[in-house]
Amino acid sequence: MQVERETNIVVVKLDNGEDLFKTLERLAQDQMIKSGMVLFGIGMLRDFELGYYLGKEYQWTTFQEPAELVALHGTIATVDDKPAIHLHAGVATKDLGLKGGHLKGATVNGLAEIGIIKLTDIELTRKKNPNSGLNELLLSKASRSTQAVRKMPTEGLGPGKKSMDLDLD
């Protein structure tokens, strides 16, 4: 995985064989993304499932052969202090047919390029709705203590101190 960041935008390139969800979970932890949006994703996937929600449950279709990832969108929320990745994907199969739906499990085939925006003023969490049975997105204004804080390297702060917190609001 290669990662570059510009302010709240993270661009990541995943390599062949990487588990898409585990890698994005690790990325969210490493980049301290508690709430975010997956804005785009392109590349190739294999060994994945696409689901269609039937009102009470999902109907899943398994794809083992590689497929072209033509669209990837979703959210990164926090559940029990861990990243919860929710993705929908559009894929093109070898016959150029398009399939899409809720993405469950996936291995990168070749590479995948993904863009993520880290949210600092909106907090995303998920909670199971007993009526729908879905882990639905909950939106709230981020508390001041959970909003992003940047670290600025400094010199002369004293023994063992290599950075200070700056509140940029």
What pLDDT score was predicted for residue 121?
A: 96
Parallel, antiparallel, or unpaired for β 107-118 and 36-46?
antiparallel
Indicate the residue type of 102.
H
pLDDT in tens, 79-91: 999 999 999 999 9
CA distance 82 to 72: 21
Q: Is the pLDDT of residue 68 over 70?
A: yes
CB 151 within 8 A of CB 163: yes
pLDDT in tens, 10-39: 999 999 999 999 999 999 999 999 999 999
Question: C-alpha dihedral over 99, 48, 37, 147, to 10 degrees?
Answer: 170
Q: Which domains does the chain have, with CATH numbers?
A: 2-152 (3.30.1330.80)
Parallel, antiparallel, or unpaired for β 9-15 and 135-141?
unpaired
